[in-house]
Amino acid sequence: MAHSAGRHAVPWLFLLLRVCAGHFAIPLKIYAGETVTFNSSVALDLTRTRGGGGGGGGGGSSSSSSSSLALASDPAGSVNFLDMVNNLQGDSGRGYYIQMSIGTPAQKLNILVDTGSSNFAVAAAPHAFITHYFNTGLSTTFQSSGRLVAVRYTQGNWEGELGTDEVSIPKGPNGTITINIAAITSSDGFFLRGVNWQGILGLAYPLLARPDSSVEPFFNSMVRQTGIPDIFSLQMCGAGISASSAADTVGGSLVMGGAEPTLYRGVMWYTPIKDEWYYQVEVLKLEVGDQNLNMDCSEYNMDKAIVDSGTTLLRLPVNVFSAVVEAITRTSMVR
């Protein structure tokens, strides 16, 4: 779900996508970077990927002390990647969400995972399209900041009250952290009929946080408070699953602190973050089937190209969209 104003992005980001049959390739600029060791048999090296800082940064290069980062499970520590496998539900039509425990005593809510925004916000009042909400009055650890906040997305918007509270993730890193939370009191077009989530987890850079970048995003707080590496990986497996099913199936994995080796095959490819607000990347080529559109890079990257897990749409510049439709039409006629 793309934020409609501001600028933001996130640390190291791996997207592990399983898609249905068909070929729609968007090669990105590949960055060799420093050598990164993926080893599932050794203890997790909890050295941060960037010297000194904790959370809230961009995809900078690793310090020499952490140039060989072992991405693996540490059953005795704060991170066990295998516990985070299949912790997402949902699909490509309704969004992917993770269960969280918020407040004291804990109230369980499903939270949409969104790399296209930076605020952590939950419903704090009844709404016709959600089954339950976070009752701030029942949480002894909720503290209001007295500040109002409003966020507008490409689709929908909400308004609410900023505060802090304690949060834990049943299928996430061990422990409880204190995070900034926006208690949504009113919204328009944000909660949709048929969805099974009651809030949004913005995973992008602080620059996009509202009302300003002083509101530390959720993952930045987690990195700072738990000491896990400033890396998360996102696997989305819902492509092709019908959105009409009454019960949501397993939709993938959000692994915080690294990448679980069993979730992908082959070597990891990297692309640099072009600008640290959204996860803005540079698209070099676009293919439909075996057809290369052969358009100039400036056409693909007009305005900006971002990786956004919170949207159900693939948005393209007008000229690129027309070329894609034409290529699909040609492919369909050939077949």
Active site residues: 114, 308
Q: Are 113 and 97 in contact (CB under 8 A)?
A: yes
Among 291, 273, 286, residue whose Cα is nearest residue 319:
286
Q: Are 279 and 115 in contact (CB under 8 A)?
A: yes
| DSSP string of 290-303, one letter each residue | TEE----HHHHTSS
**221 burial class (0-12, 13-18, 19+ CB within 10 angstroms)?**
buried
Region for 238 from its dihedrals, namely left if φ exceeds 0, alpha if ψ lies in -120 to 50, beta otherwise: alpha
CA distances from 151 to 113, 213, 214, 216, 292 (A): 16, 13, 15, 15, 38
**101 burial class (0-12, 13-18, 19+ CB within 10 angstroms)?**
middle
Phi, psi (5° rounding) for residue 135?
-95, 100
Helix or strand run (H / E) with residue 229: none
Strand, helix or coil for residue 25? strand
| DSSP string of 126-166, one letter each residue | --TT-S----GGG-TT-EEEEEEEEEEBSS-EEEEEEEEEE
